[in-house]
Structures are given as C-alpha cells and as structure tokens.
Structure 1
Amino acid sequence: MVRATKAEAVEMDAADDIEMRQGAELVEDANAANAATGEMRYLVPGLERGLRILTQFSPREPVFGAPELAQRLGIPRTTVFRLLQTLEAMGFLERAGGEKNFRLGVAVLRLGFEYLSSLELTDLGIPILERLRDATQLTSHIVIRDGRDIVFVAKAQSVAGVFNSIKVNVGTRLPAHATVHGHVLMGDLTLNELKTLYPEKTLEKYTPQTPATVAALYERVREDAERGYAVSASSFERGISVISAPVRNDTGRICAAVTVTIPRADIDPAMLDAGLIEQVRHAADELSHCLNYRPARDDRDGRTSPYMKSLGLK
C-alpha cells in the first residue's frame, strides 16, 4: 500500500473534520425527514461513498484514479484517496498500471459468489441447466436483470471445443436493452416503467439491431413476451446466436431467463425443427415450477407453454 505524504495527511485530517461535520448533518437531516413518517434511518456517508466508488468500475471502465473518481462523484480528492486506501487494504480494490490507478479486487468476486450461492434460483436451476446442456449439446445459462444490465448467474458449459472462445461466464454483465436476454427479462414492464428506466431520448447502439428508442425497445419486448421466447442471430455479438425464455416466480413476475448459446452467426432451421425452442421453454417452465409459479388455469394471457401444461399445470 502507498502511504500518504505528511502534507497529504494534514490535508486529509482537515478534510475528515469537515466530512464528520457534514456526515453528522446528513444523519440529522435524514432522521428528521423520516421521523414524520415514523421511519428512522441512520445514514453513514463514508460507507455510502465507498460503495459508490465500487459501483463506478465496470468492464467498459475497469480502471480509475482518485482524481477521476473525485470529479465524477463530487467528493473531495483527499477523501477519495482515503477511501481507496481502505478498499485496497480490505481487498476490494487493487493497484493497476502503477501507483495511481485502481481496479476491482478479489474480495468483490468473493462477495459476488457468496450472493450467487445464496440464491434459491441457482440451486434449483443448475440441475435443469445441466439437463438442457446434455440434451442440446449447447452451453446453457440462467440470466437475471439488475437495473439496466443483465447478469449471468449460472452456467452449464458444453464440452464442445467451439464454446471455449465464447467469453461469457458467471458474473458477466451486458446491457439489457441491447440483448434478447434483456428483452425477455423486461417482458413484464409497461411503457412507462421502461421510460423511467431509460429516460434518455436515444439508446446506446451496439449493433444495427439494437433498438434506438424506448418505443422501439417496448415494441421488441412486447413481441417477445407475446411469443413466450426470444431468438437472436448475432444481434449483440457477431457469430453468436441465442434462444431465451422467461422464468417466473410465485408472484407470476419474470425473475430470470433460461438461455442457450449457439456458436453461429445464424440459426440452422433444422435445429428449430428439431425442437430446440421447445427444449429451452421446457427448461424455463420447469424452473418456474420449482419456484412455485402456477399460471392462471384459463391461460388467457397466452404465456403458458405446452411444457408447463405437461407438468400438470393446465
């Protein structure tokens, strides 16, 4: 760990005094604001700032220095420096490319795996993924949505060597609006909910197939929701196609998606004729059943596949 100079230490001590006073004021203001509703919350500004620093790192921006973080978050540079040193000491950050820059450390990964291991979804879903993988010889995943991203939370890897070049692992995050996984996972959202999630006028384009506006995204989401699955031929990454189907929990809401990866730029019609879509939907329905999803008996919404009915849920 790099130690601060004497001048930096004096500056940071002064900043700490200011921060403590500001923190006390924030806590007092928050408590006063919540007292009227009978709700009492105690905010810790230092903890909030540390967590905000961690959330800035991403695959697209894996490395940051203190000046960049201070400017982005509106936090004094000396405070950022102390927070970075603390996070480094705990293993959540590590030095990258010299003394001044940081990247995420192993402790973040450990927390992520602890979270995944606590998910009922993955415990129940992995055996289903493995059966789907064995039946199709394709790598299979379970994906969830985290805000504007999708996150791969479980994987059954195909033994075929062609899949070794596809770098999608547990923990991989992709933009929800640009992937069919995201379209499936947003199948319950209304247009207003999508507008709240994406307030910008235009959406970031990754390929010519990426929806350009929220209205276009909503149209795509509704089409996939009504179909009950989504098929993508190189719509996000060239040379990779996928089939994805929604998983519902006991409330009836979409909580995940089951997907298979096809290492081709397009999908051979023979694969579809052989029942690949039905196999993916069957796996998604089976996981929904394990999560205590019970569709309406009249099935007026059209979301129940024949495989859900084959499980006795008619």
Structure 2
Amino acid sequence: MADIAAEEGGIEILSKAGAIVDALAAAKVLTVNAIAEAVGEPTSSTYRLLQSLIAMGWVEPAPSRGTYRLGLACMQVGGVLEDSLDVRGLALPRMRELRSTADVAALLCYRRGTRAVCVERIEGHDVRSVAMQVGDSLPLHVGGAPLALLAFLPSGEQHAVIDELLAADDLPYPTPAADVLREDVARIRDRGYARSDEDVTIGIAAFGSPVFNHRGELVAAVSISGLRERLIDRESELAALVMDTAAAISADLGYEGADRG
C-alpha cells in the first residue's frame, strides 16, 4: 500500500509540474501568484515546486522581478522534438516515393554522437536486410546514411568525430586509416552522396544523402539499401534519386541551400 501511495503521490507531483509548464508555455511569463491561480494550487506549494523546476532547468526567473518563464532545458527538449517530428513526418511521403521508384528499401537516420540511428525504414521488394532496422545504429564510418551524416558535418565537428572513431577500439567494423577516411568523406561531400558497398553486410549496397533543416543544419540522412547487384550497376541513376529525395525533404523543412560548411 505504501508503494502505491508513493507512486500516486509521484504522479500527482508530475501532473502539477506539467500544469506549471503548460501555464508558462501559454502565458510566457507569470508571477508565482498567477501560476498558482492558473494551476489551482496554493501559492506556497507552487513556489516549492517552482524551485524544483528551476533546479532542473525547466523554469527560470524572468527579467522582471518576481516573474518566471520556461527554462533553457525545456525549450531545448521542445525544439528537438519539434525538429524530429517535422523531419520524420515530412520525410515519409518522399521515402515512399523513393522506395516505389527505386524498388528497394528506403531509410531515414539521425546522428547520435559517433553513430547513426535508423528512425524510419520502408521495406523494398527484394531480400530483407537485417543490417539496419528501425532502432538499430551503425558507426558513422560505414553504411550509406551514416557516411552521409559524417561527410556533411561542419568541418570542426567532423574532425572531432573522426578522431573519436579512430581512437575507438571496440567498433564492430574495421576503421580505415585517418587519411583514407578523410579523403572518402571529402569525395562524398563533393559528389553529394555516400556509397556503401558490402562494408556492413556482404551482398548489400546502399546510397545515402544528407537532409538539412531551415537553419541549414544537418538533421538526418536518407538512403536506399538493397542487393548489391540491383544497386551498383544503377549507381548514377539511383544516387541521383536519393539526392533528389534528400533535397526535397530539405526543401520541405525550409532549407534554401545555404552554405553547409
């Protein structure tokens, strides 16, 4: 019973904290009394909860004395979610068209540190590759989408990521020499797409291209993946389709082709 009571108490506190965040999101800036009135709680308990939210970075004092607004942590999370939802939602129709035209699997990946995470995959009609399913990740030096993400990072960030990859001793795929990897990403950047030829799975090839948001920031990479004999002989045609799809998603996100470097 004590555990149930504690759980219910925790849920109630979270609910109150959520109500405070909602009130500040709607009004932008509020006093403690106004927040208490908006959430239907006593001023004293509202103040205590505000202090906890401030410590977590979800709320911060506003410039006007005695007022509060949403904190940086809350806005950062909201911005990440907004960008993620926009990218995935806008990418899906383009990915379906790409899959239909290329007749192989289409994937969407986000970068997380030195890895690329698959967040969407639309299967093709050939053999199902188990190399990159939704939720799986690959290091950025292998695979069509991961290499595209690596190649189009801002130069300083790219150098740091490459150094980290080269220093790692537990990667499941061989890491090329530093000069070879840097030359490879430079070629990818020049031609606009990455080429993966059996570096992840024997018999499987992939082409990937970067996606940018309205601020010109690299947010994802779209790729196709399938049997090597179905892709390599059509590289020029299929790579152009992938680049066109990535460009269309970027345009849907408001990207206008500003400098990527």
TM range (shorter): 0.5 to 0.7
Query: Structure 2: which amino acid aligns with 1:292?
Result: G
In structure 2, which of residues 235, 246, 253 is the aligned counterpart of residue 272 of structure 1? Answer: 235
Query: Structure 2: which amino acid aligns with 1:120?
Result: D
Give the Cα separation in 1 of the matches to 2:133 and 2:113. 19
Shift of 1:218: 2.7
Shift of 1:224: 0.5
The equivalent of 2:185 in structure 1 is 221
Give the Cα separation in 1 of the matches to 2:185 and 2:210. 12
Give the Cα separation in 1 of the matches to 2:235 and 2:219. 25
1:252 and 1:167, CA in 2 relative to 1: closer, same or farther beyond 3 A? same
Contact 1:179 1:235 in 2 (8 A): yes
The equivalent of 1:177 in structure 2 is 141
In structure 2, which of residues 146, 150, 153 is the aligned counterpart of residue 189 of structure 1? Answer: 153
The equivalent of 2:55 in structure 1 is 42
RMSD value over aligned CA atoms? 3.0
The answer as to 2:197 corresponding to 1:233 is: yes
Residues 93-128 of structure 1 deviation map (CA, whole Å, 9 limit, x = unaligned):
xxxxxxxxxxxxxxxxxxxxxx69962111111111
The equivalent of 1:157 in structure 2 is 123
The answer as to 2:249 corresponding to 1:287 is: yes
Give the Cα separation in 2 of the matches to 1:247 and 1:262. 21
The equivalent of 1:212 in structure 2 is 177
Contact 1:202 1:212 in 2 (8 A): no
Gaps of 5+ in 1: 1-39, 45-114, 304-314
In structure 1, which of residues 129, 132, 149 is the aligned counterpart of residue 98 of structure 2? Answer: 132
Shift of 1:266: 8.0
2:104 is paired with a residue whose SS is coil
1:143 is paired with a residue whose SS is strand
1:177 is paired with a residue whose SS is coil
Shift of 1:158: 1.6
Contact 2:108 2:145 in 1 (8 A): no
Give the Cα separation in 1 of the matches to 2:216 and 2:91. 17
Shift of 1:211: 2.2
Give the Cα separation in 1 of the matches to 2:185 and 2:114. 14
Contact 1:229 1:281 in 2 (8 A): yes
Give the Cα separation in 2 of the matches to 1:180 and 1:169. 14
Residues 231-269 of structure 1 deviation map (CA, whole Å, 9 limit, x = unaligned):
111122222100111111111222111100022278442
% same residue = 28
Shift of 1:41: 6.3
Give the Cα separation in 2 of the matches to 1:203 and 1:216. 17
Residues 46-103 of structure 1 deviation map (CA, whole Å, 9 limit, x = unaligned):
xxxxxxxxxxxxxxxxxxxxxxxxxxxxxxxxxxxxxxxxxxxxxxxxxxxxxxxxxx
Contact 1:178 1:211 in 2 (8 A): no
Deviates more, 1:188-197 or 1:283-292: 188-197
Give the Cα separation in 2 of the matches to 1:200 and 1:232. 18
1:153 is paired with a residue whose SS is strand
The equivalent of 1:143 in structure 2 is 109
Shift of 1:179: 3.2
Contact 1:245 1:257 in 2 (8 A): yes
Contact 2:95 2:107 in 1 (8 A): yes
The equivalent of 1:9 in structure 2 is none
Gaps of 5+ in 2: 1-52, 58-80
TM-score, reference length from structure 2: 0.60
2:151 is paired with a residue whose SS is coil
Shift of 1:155: 1.4
- Higher RCO, 1 vs 2 (CA within 8 Å, ≥6 residues apart): 2
Give the Cα separation in 1 of the matches to 2:246 and 2:166. 33
**Number of residue equivalences:** 183
Shift of 1:221: 1.6
TM-score, reference length from structure 1: 0.51
Give the Cα separation in 1 of the matches to 2:138 and 2:82. 17
1:290 and 1:232, CA in 2 relative to 1: closer, same or farther beyond 3 A? same
Larger % of strand: which? Answer: 2
Contact 1:183 1:220 in 2 (8 A): no
